[in-house]
Amino acid sequence: MAYKISDDCVSCGACEAECPVSAISEGDGKYVIDADACVECGACAGVCPVGAPSAE
Q: Work out how many domains the chain is built from and give that number.
A: 1
Report how far residue 39's alpha carbon sits from residue 45's, in angstroms, rounded to the nearest whole number: 13
Domain holding 10, by residue range, is: 3-55
Q: How many CB atoms lie within 10 A of CB 54?
A: 15
Task: Return the pLDDT at 44.
Answer: 98
> CATH no. for residue 51?
3.30.70.20
> What does each of the 56 residues of the chain score in pLDDT, given as a tens digit?
899 999 999 999 999 999 999 999 999 999 999 999 999 999 999 999 999 999 97
Of the candidates 14, 6, 9, which has an alpha carbon nearest to the alpha carbon of residue 44?
14
pLDDT on residue 56: 79
